Amino acid sequence: MSVEIRPHQLDDKSVIWNLFQFYCYDTSREDEVDVEADGFFSLSPSYFGQYWELPRWAAHLIRVDGAIAGFVLIEPSDVVPEAQEIADLFILRRYRRRGLARDIVWHFLAQRQTPWTITVLDGWPEAEAFWAAMLADPRLRVAQRFLDPYGREGDVLLLDYATS
């Protein structure tokens, strides 16, 4: 399996925008979000545009054997000012359960010398299971826990990790 995490590129903006509809569908039960009258989930173009316009914000397209497989969105942490956050990680169902998301997380942890945070919300079983499995790896641990700054049930975790 050949995995490509495409560097942040403007050419991928519309593709990731379209994939975000699938992400919204996958998380609609937990987010309690409905589609709009046109049958699409409501997305904010200005918020989404920040991934291409602002420093420390980035959107990466993921391909497996040349086929589009998902995306990862990186942004500044809302809790730890100098940290980056893996804000959204989406893998199409066809490519799940292959270790792809795990490998993507390690890819980003390994390439930066900044602290990393993740937000794990209560009642999101797939995300909770994924991060529990990640944190079972002895190279990764929670250095500090914070309350979610938006008042949601769950934690923001500051990660401590060894990449080798």
pLDDT in tens, 34-92: 877 887 878 888 888 999 999 999 999 999 999 999 999 999 999 999 999 999 999 99
User: What b/e string do you get for 34-60 counting C-beta neighbours within 10 Å, with b at 16 or more?
Assistant: eeeeeeebeeeeeebebbeeeeebbbb
Query: What pLDDT shows up at residue 101?
Result: 94
Domain 3-161 has CATH 3.40.50.10470: no
∠ Cα 61 18 2 (to 5°): 30
Distances, alpha carbon 118 to alpha carbons 32, 42, 46, 63, in Å? 21, 24, 23, 23
Q: Is the pLDDT higher at 104 or at 23?
A: 104
- In the chain, what are the domain boundaries? 3-161
CA distance 110 to 70: 20
| C-alpha closest to that of 16 among 111, 90, 94, 96 | 90
- What φ, ψ does residue 139 adopt, rounded to 5°? -80, -10
- What φ, ψ does residue 28 adopt, rounded to 5°? -65, -30
Residue with tokens 């998902």: 70
**pTM summary value:** 0.89
| C-alpha closest to that of 109 among 37, 5, 16, 25 | 5
Q: Is the pLDDT higher at 160 or at 23?
A: 160
CA distance 58 to 82: 16
pLDDT tens sequence across 91-136: 999 999 999 999 999 999 988 778 999 999 898 888 899 999 999 9
| C-alpha closest to that of 50 among 83, 88, 6 | 88
Query: What pLDDT shows up at residue 125?
Result: 87
